[in-house]
Structure 1
Amino acid sequence: MNNRAVILIVDDEVTNIEIMNAVLEDTYEICFATSGEQAIEVARTVLPDLILLDVMMPGIDGYGVCERIKSERLLADVPVIFTTGLTDQEAEVRGLSLGAIDYITKPIQPVVLRARVANHIELKRLRDQLAQMAVTDALTGLSNRRHLEETIKTEITDLAANKDWLSVILLDIDFFKSFNDTYGHPEGDRCLIMVASALTRAMHRSDNTVARYGGEEFACILPGADYDSAMRIAQGIKTQVQALNIPHSGSSISPFLTISMGVASAIAENDMTSSDWINHADQQLYLSKAGGRDMISGTVFTQEN
């Protein structure tokens, strides 16, 4: 598998692109654009790890491209290095104020280019690792509660534009305290990891998100899924967990591990919040527990209810 970092070179002079490509192509995957408009399109498509951006270009200049890139959620964290023949401090300050991280002056010096690019690629890799750790549950490798709530918020904004559905499933392992008391916490951790894997297998789409909400509670975010679709996915989750056949002698309802689930579905609207889905799903989860556990309860809600 190719894990080389991707660098987007933007310059209206093809000769400059060829020079930088010759310096970097042995280490990185290179793509290029010869205008500001093309640079923005390519960046959205390939999501590069770093952009080498010419300042002086016809149409949208480098400053305009940088400003556009930093305003887009998916591109805002991509480091931008300006490549320019300008040497005045005012031009450098302007670029840095727009979010660029460095300047390389032309004519390009290969040793300088390699070193600057390598340093910033490594810094981005470390930042990405820290960002991933901040939103990941250490035990299961799933998203954590913080990432869950951020993801719901983002999905509301994206889905509301087309009045599309969003569904959230909250689920709880039945009698998990008793499981830990009976088998010990190491087996409890192993159980959580197995359930996390079962949840991931039950997801139908790559944009579905599975998270550990806390303790023995998990959540699934299903953008575009209406109530019927979400209930089918919930049933699929139930089937996957049943297939684990994890013994649970401390359960009063089954000799094997079971889960209770609450499903909340609604058409996304801009003034809704992540709490709307979480609270309604939690209410349904409570009904499943109160109804005897090992159950799925669900609701379609609106802003009014």
Structure 2
Amino acid sequence: MAFSSPRPSALISVAKMHDGERLFQTLQSCFQVFRAPEHGRVIELLHAETPPHEGLIIGSTPDHPIDIVILDDSDSEAALEVLSQIKDSSSLRMIPVVIVSEKGSACLTELDALKHGAADFWTLPIADQVLLARVAVHTRRTRVTRSLARMSMTDLATGAASRRLFADSLRREWGRAMRENVWLSLAFIAMDGYETYAERLGGESAGECMTMLSEALGTCLRRPGDLISRFSDDIFSVILPVTDHHGAAHVSRQMHSSIEGLQLAFPGSVTRLPLAEYVSISMGMTSAVPVSGCDYERFAESAYSALGKAMARGPGTTNLQPTLMEVLN
């Protein structure tokens, strides 16, 4: 089963209901409708069509092709179990779930359904136009919510991930590295002379320069879990899962080469800074095998401090903090 349609999509599991066929036929007039023969297949079908989220957390996942799930309450325990699994899943929880019940034979109360995370509770039969309107309201809300989530996770100026996504992803990758006992590396990368560049050419030109830097740096990140984020006006952060200090150093060299290859002219000389003819970057990196779940903040602080030391040495410098093993143990 492939869930792909320009129309809003609904997955329904109401086979045991008298009005199930009518519900299916009515929705088909305006929506792309798919059926799960039983509640136990709902999660299986949803996960089978979940877009790859590259290891990111809620809000960062691509849009799921299903906009609403509709379950009958003929097997109330199964319906609540499916509902709970959807709401507990980072890739599915944004999908609204509606519980439907036949008049006079309700197995669930509206209150129970809502307490377990249902978006709505309908008693059948429902007039066709009312049914279509209710589903339309939920699917529009789903798409608006997803759009807002994407915006909150993206730096609109450069297209890199947002600082919020960086924080969430670092916390998640730290936990994963701790569980799997593997290395994690983190870099902070600053555009040298950003303030001077902005003063001389304007903030819009400085933003365009950061966009070009983001794109060039992104070409050096080739694995699904690698993430570049805009940390501040002039600084990017890069998370490198399952990467030790040797791998981080290799990525650092690639990043410097990618920026040098752009040959973005810097607007004039600066006597107080030994800036080169072309835009350059400074970088601070650190690596660790996590041993404590709460130490990811110290990990980030160490990488940020490494950036400060690199910038103090002069433009185009990288400061590699090889390992935080001793600090974090």
The bucket for the TM-score relative to the shorter chain is: 0.7 to 0.9
Question: What residue is the counterpart of 2:54 in the other structure?
Answer: none
Unaligned runs of 5+ in 1: none
Distance across 2 between alignment mates of 1:37 and 1:265? 43
Question: What residue is the counterpart of 1:13 in the other structure?
Answer: 16
Distance across 2 between alignment mates of 1:191 and 1:80? 44
Matching of residues 240-255 of structure 1 within 5 Å = 240-248=258-266, 249-250=268-269, 252-255=274-277
Checking the alignment, whether the CA contact within 8 Å between 2:5 and 2:32 is kept in structure 1 is: no
Checking the alignment, whether the CA contact within 8 Å between 1:53 and 1:80 is kept in structure 2 is: yes
Q: Which moved more, 1:81-90 or 1:216-225?
A: 81-90
Q: Which moved more, 1:82-91 or 1:112-121?
A: 82-91
Distance across 1 between alignment mates of 2:27 and 2:95? 18
Checking the alignment, whether the CA contact within 8 Å between 2:73 and 2:108 is kept in structure 1 is: no
Question: What residue is the counterpart of 2:39 in the other structure?
Answer: 36
1:142 paired to 2:160: yes
1:292 paired to 2:314: yes
Checking the alignment, whether the CA contact within 8 Å between 1:17 and 1:32 is kept in structure 2 is: no
* Change over 3 Å in CA distance of 1:28–1:168 after alignment to 2: farther
Question: What residue is the counterpart of 2:99 in the other structure?
Answer: 82
Identity fraction in percent:
23
Distance across 1 between alignment mates of 2:209 and 2:180? 39
Q: CA deviation at 1:178?
A: 1.8
Q: Which moved more, 1:171-180 or 1:268-277?
A: 268-277
Instruction: Select the residue among 129, 151, 160 that pairs with 1:111.
Output: 129
Q: CA deviation at 1:52?
A: 0.9
Question: What residue is the counterpart of 1:256 in the other structure?
Answer: 278
Distance across 1 between alignment mates of 2:136 and 2:302? 48
Question: What residue is the counterpart of 2:204 in the other structure?
Answer: 186
Question: What residue is the counterpart of 1:124 in the other structure?
Answer: 142
1:22 paired to 2:44: no
Amino acid at match of 1:283: S
Checking the alignment, whether the CA contact within 8 Å between 1:272 and 1:303 is kept in structure 2 is: no
Question: What residue is the counterpart of 2:82 in the other structure?
Answer: 65
Instruction: Select the residue among 149, 152, 171 that pairs with 2:189.
Output: 171
* Change over 3 Å in CA distance of 1:33–1:14 after alignment to 2: farther
Distance across 2 between alignment mates of 1:161 and 1:28? 43
Checking the alignment, whether the CA contact within 8 Å between 1:182 and 1:250 is kept in structure 2 is: no
**Residues 168-220 of structure 1: CA deviation (Å, up to 9, x unaligned):** 11100111122223323222121112112222222212332211101200111
How does the TM-score come out when normalised to structure 2? 0.81
Distance across 1 between alignment mates of 2:294 and 2:259? 32
Question: What residue is the counterpart of 1:215 in the other structure?
Answer: 233
* Change over 3 Å in CA distance of 1:94–1:222 after alignment to 2: same
Checking the alignment, whether the CA contact within 8 Å between 1:166 and 1:266 is kept in structure 2 is: yes
Amino acid at match of 1:146: R
Unaligned runs of 5+ in 2: 50-63
Distance across 2 between alignment mates of 1:273 and 1:36? 41
Q: CA deviation at 1:27?
A: 4.6
Aligned length: 304
Q: CA deviation at 1:93?
A: 1.0
Instruction: Select the residue among 201, 211, 217 that pairs with 1:199.
Output: 217
Amino acid at match of 2:167: E
Q: CA deviation at 1:149?
A: 0.7
1:50 paired to 2:72: no
* Change over 3 Å in CA distance of 1:228–1:182 after alignment to 2: same
Question: What residue is the counterpart of 2:327 in the other structure?
Answer: 304
How does the TM-score come out when normalised to structure 1? 0.87
Q: CA deviation at 1:244?
A: 1.7
Distance across 2 between alignment mates of 1:263 and 1:45? 37
Checking the alignment, whether the CA contact within 8 Å between 1:178 and 1:250 is kept in structure 2 is: no
Q: CA RMSD in A?
A: 2.7
Checking the alignment, whether the CA contact within 8 Å between 2:13 and 2:38 is kept in structure 1 is: yes
Distance across 2 between alignment mates of 1:76 and 1:226? 34
* Change over 3 Å in CA distance of 1:30–1:292 after alignment to 2: same
Q: CA deviation at 1:139?
A: 2.0
Amino acid at match of 1:40: I
Q: CA deviation at 1:117?
A: 1.3
